[in-house]
Structure 1
Amino acid sequence: MWLLVFAGFLWVAGVNCTATDKITQHILSDVVALASELEELKQDVAWLRTMRHIEEENGRSGRQLSPRVNNTGPVYTTYNIWGRRHCPTSSEEIYSGVAGGEYYSHTGGASDFQCLPMDPIYARTAPNEQSTRGLMYPVQYMGSWPNNAAYTASVNHDVPCAVCRARRSTHITVPARNVCPSGWTLEYKGFLLAAYQHSSSYDRSQYICVDELFETVPSTGSSVYAAQLFPAEGKCTSGGGLPCSPYIEGYELTCAVCSI
């Protein structure tokens, strides 16, 4: 600040000599430059004080928070594998478990499926069954598939699952194909399954991609209260449906989970 005051004094005093004017102009220019540098230095000092304050607060609270974002670390994507007890060897397994969903004939509740871990943690529980709740049931393979022995052997068994992490940035589920687009990595392939489509006694669900090998949860195999999965078929007719040139009426639909 004193530099600016000194510059103002020189300007007001004014020296008539041409040579002195040139010297004054040089001095003024230098003073302005120094004032600008001083202001930048003050801003840097203020920033450093703020960063030191953040570090001290984080140290007192036990947190390790960085004011700057680190974009140099590895990038991951997570996905569920349905119908398998464990993740593919190309991915890291976060946890394995069993598929859960709403009972097949309930008109309320959720329509999606969850991969439930085998070590649940409870909090603030109320004893006994409550009438005003959503309900979670196991998910079972259902229906017939004469030319698929692995699926036939799995019927009435509970569906296993796992949550996986791949060292890639994103993933997609490709329906009706069991190969990935060019440049993508195949995590697993299988078939589309969903709830039964054809009766007022069944409620809707999501489509999920179930691994083609159809593993089951051990010690299951009897028909119980459960959410249910059936193979999904393509429907193409002259009266409406999928395009009949690529899709074939009644053929079970494949799927692939791909990452890149």
Structure 2
Amino acid sequence: MNINISVFLFVIFLGRIQAHGEKRILLNDPDLIHSQIQALESKYQDILTKYADLSTKYTDVSTKYADLSMKYTDVSTKNTALATKCADLSAHNADLAVKYHHLSETSNAGGVFIRWGRKECPSNQTELVYSGFAGGSWYNDEGGAAEYVCLPRDPNLATKFSGNHAKMYGSEYNSLGAPFGLHDGDDVPCAVCRSSRETSVLMIPGKNSCYTGWAMQYHGYLVAGYYAYKGAGQYICLDEHPETLTAGGHNEDGKLIYPVQAVCGSLPCPPYENGKYLTCAVCAK
């Protein structure tokens, strides 16, 4: 069946409907088609308007997104720079903490000892407080002080006293045979030293080394006054390489220094040996 016959039959069908008094709308009614086209055009324009509005809003959102993205990138860059600065600051603080700890240890340290027989301190992180002259009481004075002292080179003296008094003499190496490699009567120097690390200082008689955990300051020979003299004596540690004071070679006595010899009996032998001389070590921790 071709199209023309179909259209013809449809028109006859519509005619019959009209003939029966029923109101029908013809598909080819120009007014109906025109009104529908206008409605479609109106909706189309409305869609275009909404599309344009949405497009504007989308453009605005895109602009805001791009702006936010730039701000985020800027913030991220600043955060990265800040993180780098924080890392640098942290490293700097760590370095300052190490330096502060070192300075704190240095300032809190300060074990002081006297190096007998030398003018300078040992080169093991110690500082020289002052260099001076070893001295003490006359070797044969019954009322003399026992200890040796390290007298400074720049004394402040007074004259206001009178009457009875104690006396201060210089100290000499005074032994036949010059056991320290020096001449009899040579004067004894000394140095007051301060450790820049350790706070405790110990003189160990009979040892030329330090025990575990202790740092060596210097070592040498144990010395004291001669046992037969009336003046009291004191044990001190003389450096193993003793020096002398300039122009101090005259034998004028004073506070004398002799090497110390072990005597068996109440002193256990072994480990000590009768007649052997004692060493010593000054150690710090």
Per the normalisation by structure 1, the TM-score is 0.65
Residue 155 of structure 1, CA deviation: 2.5
Contact 2:221 2:240 (C-alpha < 8 Å) held by counterparts = yes
Partner of 1:224: 252
Query: Does 1:243 find its partner at 2:268?
Result: yes
Contact 1:104 1:226 (C-alpha < 8 Å) held by counterparts = yes
- Selected match of 2:233 from 178, 182, 205: 205
Partner of 2:219: 189
Partner of 1:153: 182
Gaps of 5+ in 1: 1-70
Deviations 1:181-222 (A, max 9, x none): 011110000001111012xx4322110000011111110111
- Selected match of 2:109 from 32, 54, 75: 75
Contact 1:154 1:216 (C-alpha < 8 Å) held by counterparts = no
- Aligned residues: percent identity? 38
Partners of 1:248 and 1:139 in 2: how far apart? Answer: 29
RMSD: 1.9
Partners of 1:209 and 1:145 in 2: how far apart? Answer: 20
Partners of 1:136 and 1:76 in 2: how far apart? Answer: 28
- Selected match of 1:173 from 186, 203, 218: 203
Partners of 2:244 and 2:123 in 1: how far apart? Answer: 19
Contact 1:195 1:202 (C-alpha < 8 Å) held by counterparts = no
Q: Which has the larger helix fraction? A: 2
Partners of 2:252 and 2:139 in 1: how far apart? Answer: 11
Amino acid at match of 2:120: H
Partners of 1:241 and 1:154 in 2: how far apart? Answer: 33
Partners of 1:204 and 1:82 in 2: how far apart? Answer: 18
Contact 2:130 2:191 (C-alpha < 8 Å) held by counterparts = yes
Contact 1:82 1:162 (C-alpha < 8 Å) held by counterparts = yes
Residue 143 of structure 1, CA deviation: 1.2
Partner of 2:31: none
Contact 2:117 2:243 (C-alpha < 8 Å) held by counterparts = yes
Partner of 2:121: 87
Residue 145 of structure 1, CA deviation: 4.6
Residue 225 of structure 1, CA deviation: 3.9
Partners of 1:94 and 1:116 in 2: how far apart? Answer: 12
Partners of 2:219 and 2:147 in 1: how far apart? Answer: 20
Partners of 2:177 and 2:214 in 1: how far apart? Answer: 30
Aligned length, in residue pairs: 180
Amino acid at match of 2:172: Q
Partner of 1:135: 167
Contact 2:187 2:244 (C-alpha < 8 Å) held by counterparts = yes
Partner of 1:255: 280
Residue 154 of structure 1, CA deviation: 3.8
Partner of 1:105: 140
Contact 1:154 1:215 (C-alpha < 8 Å) held by counterparts = no
Contact 2:185 2:253 (C-alpha < 8 Å) held by counterparts = no
